[in-house]
Structure 1
């Protein structure tokens, strides 16, 4: 995966976690990148292996966790891109990337130099859907670029 220092300046960074909210955010990010004439960096944060062992005494393999996250973000990007192509919508150059760590920390770090950071909002109904999630709130408060929170 790519070092954040190599992120295309002015690109659109979008958090992807496989949820419907993140798919909607990726759609929005692709539209925004097309309008701006720039690229998309679809970014999935993942957790490292836990420090304790399982009942069998086996630690989850860090490489396996890395590879699974990488496969998942690529699959989501390809799914959204294929749906866009099928309806004739533009598909800007989109880099699928991963980084280990909490989603809010990863996205804030990668917001440096980006034109826009896009995050999804998972509607949970009732009062819960009226309150922005912790990742979205952290992005709105601390990101070093414009932030868009997309409802699914």
Structure 2
């Protein structure tokens, strides 16, 4: 995979593209699109994974040795990054784990982002009013432009060759 140099002269170059990661195929597609966007804009990319404390009594009495919700969330994000980049991640990419509500946490992260990229499982219409939707919450409340990747989007190659226009003669 090639990388573009990070040198953007328009606006605040300190604001990264932020992408939400949760281990779903939709989040994996969102990560891919966020990589494309960050490279096109010459921005850093920050993957945010959100975890919550367990409310299960089973977990309180029989915790998994050496594992915590934060560690599991970071492992999920690392797996997604490895799937996208392979063994060697670019220097302009980072991961962080935050505790909280996913929608609210990503909206908070959008306050210091150039763009927010999230995946959507495609539960539209009335269903989203009853089930709730992280992508809908982000699109409604984010403090930066939001890209919603619907479903498991078809992956485009990162190195798009220049297309030749054929002469119709």
Quickly name the TM-score band, shorter chain normalised. 0.7 to 0.9
SS in 2 for 1:10: coil
Map residues 108-123 of structure 1 onto 2, 5 A cutoff.
108-123=107-122
Of residues 115-124 and 59-68 in structure 1, the stretch that sits farther from structure 2 once superposed is 59-68
TM-score norm. by structure 2 comes to 0.68
Task: Give the secondary structure class of the aligned counterpart of 2:61.
Answer: coil
Q: Which runs of 5+ in 2 are unaligned?
A: 1-12, 153-169
Q: Tell me the secondary structure at the aligned position of residue 15 of structure 1.
A: strand
Give distance in 2, aligned partners of 1:73 and 1:41. 11
2:42 counterpart (37, 43, 58): 37
Q: Whose helix proportion is higher, 1 or 2?
A: 1
26, 30, 37: which one aligns with 1:25: 30
Q: How does 1:3-152 map to 2 (within 5 A)?
A: 9-50=14-55, 53-54=57-58, 58=61, 60=63, 64-82=68-86, 93-123=92-122, 134-151=133-150, 152=152
Q: How many residues align?
A: 136
Corresponding position of 2:164 = none
CA deviation after TM superposition for structure 1 residue 123, in Å: 3.3
Are the equivalent residues in 2 in contact too, given 1:136–1:149 (CA < 8 A)?
yes
Once the 2 structures are TM-superposed, how far is the Cα of residue 72 of structure 1 from its aligned partner? 1.4
State how far apart, in whole Å, the 2-side matches of 1:29 and 1:113 are.
16
- Look up the SS of the partner of 2:68 in the other structure: helix
Q: Cα distance, 1:109 vs. partner?
A: 0.9
SS in 2 for 1:68: helix
Q: Measure the CA separation in 2 of the matches of 1:145 and 1:69.
A: 25
Distance 1:92 1:23, change over 3 A: farther
Encode CA deviations 1:37-68: one digit per residue, 9 max, x unaligned: 11111111111132x633x9616479622111
Greater RCO between the two (CA within 8 Å, min separation 6)?
1
Q: Distance in 2 between matches of 1:37 and 1:18?
A: 26
Is the radius of gyration larger for structure 1 or structure 2? 2
